[in-house]
Chains A and B, each alone.
Chain A
Amino acid sequence: MEVLLYTILTLCALGVLSAVILYFVAQKFRVEEDPRIDQVEKMLPGANCGGCGFAGCRGMADALVKNDDISALFCPVGGGDCMKAVASYLGKTAAEKGPQVATVRCGGTCEMRPRTNEYNGARSCAVASSLYVGETGCAFGCLGLGDCVVACAFGAIAVNPATGLAEVDPAKCTACGACVKACPKGIIELRKKWPKDRAVYVSCVSRDKGAVVMKACKVGCIGCGKCEKVCAFGAITVENNLAFIDSEKCKLCRKCVNECPTGAIRLVGMEPLPREPKVAPAAGAKPAGVAAPAPEAPKAE
């Protein structure tokens, strides 16, 4: 009985002593922090994805509280609503930015872009792309080894084994931009997100000349410039043998889609415009299906 008593007493005394020590240590090392940082952090999504440019939400919250001008800061995951809420809490004005979605700009599926060799190294796009051209003749296209998949914290991107291409699930994508940074080929772009995931974009980033593109891939952009001419909104530019559609200027009029001789311009979530009588009517929603080699010769230079 006595032993029990001593044990209990000793342990109690030890506990009290430790508590006292810890109290003083905590006092000594206390860091004064703006309590609003905690509040703002709670308002942020808490994904710690790094899409804002900070290592985590805490860093973003810190910057939001400390900077007077927060127009340069934006949380892509929380979006405009979250930023508005934070701004009103802090009494500052937030940046206005529409929702975006990551877009993989390569249509070189296994059928469209034949494999010429077999990659046998470490499963990493970065390793493969610093080694050689890739499994196909196209030095710009998706390697399909999934660096973007590893980078995505939301499980929104996956490599489709049937096509060998990375595919984004728009419902899960938060436009944090991690995949954009991870892709060594610079294929992924954050584009304006339309309702019902509609989109029109050039599904190719090849800067090779037309003849070279045609040899490597059936749906590559040859830089012929037809789309640029037909666009009424000045949304399309052709540079280095490659067309680019500015998603902020594009109105989804779809004229360029029918104009493209190779089917490199992709249309998602919408019916294509009816073709003019002289051209056979297109079937199916995906213009990739009408990728019959164009009669027009590719524009040289």
Chain B
Amino acid sequence: MKTFPIGGVHPSENKLSCGKAIEVLPLPDVVAIPLAQHIGAPAVAKVAKGDKVLTGQLIAEAGSFMSANIHSPVSGTVTAVDLVPNGQGIRQMMITIKREGDEWAEGIDRSETLVRECSLPASEIVAKIKDAGIVGMGGATFPTHVKLSVPPGKKAEALIINGVECEPYLTSDHRTMLEHGEELLVGVTILMKALDVKSAYVGIENNKPDAIAHLRKLAAQYPGVEIVPLTVKYPQGGEKQLIAAIMGRQVPPPPALPIDVGAVVCNASTTYAVYRAVQKNMPLIERVVTITGKGLKEPKNLLARMGTPIETLIAAAGGLPEDAGKVINGGPMMGRAMVNLASPVTKGCSGITVMSGRDAVRREASQCIKCAKCVAACPMGLEPYLLSKMTQKKGWETLEAQMITSCIECGCCQSTCPAYLPLLDWIRLGKQTVMGIIRQRAAAAAPKK
């Protein structure tokens, strides 16, 4: 069984909702659409207060190449384009739309019929993906058209589809692979065409044997597509870890990108969205969100429109339990704790994990006993104990020399620490600071106009 070469941990999987078919959530009455729900420049609003919009209509345009379009997930009236608190309580520009019915913009094929053939040239495929506003739906929200635009001098050799879903609890990719396997594989062939590669690998962790078997059976009809079962080990779904596991190549430290080793990685749900965008003209206006947690009455996978308040999703899963201690946007390893449950579902929201109070409270930290478990767990071969300590001492030069910028913030170190030290809390701060210093230095070194 293939896996990545260094470190890793194995947290309890807790895939409570893996057997639950995707349910369609009723349309929300009001949606809020953040203009910045992807990496890069925020989108620029194309509508103003009072405008009528249709479902699937472009409401905000990519602010630059490294940005993404945003479409209205419902039809109705724009009630505000203003600062609204996001899940972390920070005020962000959002377009608020009051829903009236469900009228769709023209040209969108909403049928379920499978369209296998795609005769478009690569450039048009990329253009369609860009128009549909597709970004990485695994959580990183990197605009997909940017990934597909291979910079000159570099060559993609293989496409890797990330169906690993190594985060505990989350099952949205798993269900998508099971229920939309055929469409997903068409999406794979479309992406292969866009990148002009002959081989594609779908990496799936071995705890999803049903998805592996299902896709293997279907993949027989798609030459060049191989399903690769992977060892259950976190962070198997990290982009760099996945490339190393499948292709045996290690992406060099930043600023190198996967394309430098000839790989392009795309999430499974994103691939399904690519199929819908290219074959059906369907923009990215809905996604599967796993609502899960041990205290929830009914953990489930919901197909929700973007902008739906997260509390609506929680209500659909039986409501927030009495003893809820923490609500996490994402999974427990990399997700962000929320303070504002009225905040909307966004393109990168793969799940909501509700933790009960007892599980949520961090255990009291004691002193470092130098057990080196964090060093053994780090999938990037870093020394978390040292990085955390040096951040507290503000030793920025040391941190840079010790490659803090390679940190992928997977959380292996902190989750494995027997002294319960907040290692990653500090490392993240150190990484941000060091990256700021590097940017400043680059700006100072750049020739002045």
Contacts and interface: CB of A to CB of B under 8 A. Distances in A.
Interface stretch (B16-24, B83-91, B268-276): B83-91
B339 A116 contact: yes
Interface stretch (B173-181, B221-229, B423-431): B423-431
B426 A127 contact: yes
A139 B92 CA distance: 12
Interface in A124-165: 124, 126-127, 130-134, 137, 139
Contact of A132 (B89, B361, B362, B429): B89
A131 B329 CA distance: 13
B422 A132 contact: no
A122 B432 CA distance: 16
Given A116-B339, A117-B339, A131 B426 contact: no
Contacts of A116: 89, 339
B47 interface: no
A92 B125 CA distance: 72
* SS of A interface (majority): loop
Contacts of B336: 131-132
Contacts of A127: 422, 425-426, 428-429
A133 B422 contact: no
Contact of A121 (B88, B91, B339, B422): B422
Contact of A120 (B85, B88, B361): B361
A20 to B, nearest CB: 39
Given A131-B88, A137-B89, A208-B91, A120 B428 contact: no
Interface string A86-127: 000000000000000000000000000000110011101011
Contacts of B428: 127, 130
A110 B375 CA distance: 40
Interface in B30-47: none
Contacts of A137: 89
A133 B85 contact: yes
Interface in B357-382: 360-362
Nearest to A120: B362
Chain B: interface size category: 10 to 19
Given A130-B432, A139-B91, A122 B426 contact: yes
A2 to B, nearest CB: 52
Q: Which of B85, B429, B432 has the largest count of A CB atoms less than 10 A from its CB?
A: B429
Contact of B89 (A121, A126, A133): A133
Interface in B411-429: 422, 425-426, 428-429
B80 interface: no
Nearest to A212: B91
Contact of A133 (B88, B361, B429, B432): B88
Nearest to A126: B429
Contacts of B360: 120
Contacts of B339: 116-117, 132-133
Interface string B304-345: 000000000000000000000000000000001101000000
Contacts of B89: 116, 132-134, 137, 139
Contacts of B426: 122, 124, 127
Contact of A122 (B88, B90, B91, B422): B422
A130 B432 CA distance: 9
B85 A122 contact: no
A134 B425 CA distance: 15
Nearest to B362: A120
Contacts of B429: 124, 126-127, 130
Contacts of A133: 85, 88-90, 339
Nearest to A133: B89
Nearest to B422: A122
Given A120-B361, A120-B362, A139 B90 contact: yes
Contacts of B425: 121-122, 124, 127
Q: Which of B88, B422, B425 has the largest count of A CB atoms less than 10 A from its CB?
A: B425
B34 to A, nearest CB: 15
A117 B88 CA distance: 11
Contacts of B90: 132-133, 139
A212 B362 CA distance: 31
Interface string B428-447: 11001000000000000000
A139 B89 CA distance: 8
Nearest to B426: A122
Interface in A45-78: none
A206 to B, nearest CB: 11
A208 B91 CA distance: 9
Given A116-B339, A139-B91, 6 more contacts: A117-B339, A127-B425, A127-B426, A131-B88, A131-B336, A132-B336
26 contacts: A117-B339, A121-B362, A121-B422, A121-B425, A122-B422, A124-B425, A124-B429, A126-B429, A127-B422, A127-B425, A127-B426, A127-B429, A130-B428, A130-B432, A131-B336, A131-B337, A132-B90, A132-B336, A132-B337, A132-B339, A133-B85, A133-B88, A133-B89, A133-B339, A134-B89, A137-B89
Interface of B: 85, 88-91, 336-337, 339, 360-362, 422, 425-426, 428-429, 432
Interface of A: 116-117, 120-122, 124, 126-127, 130-134, 137, 139, 208, 212
The 3 closest A-B pairs by CB, nearest first: A133-B89, A132-B88, A122-B425
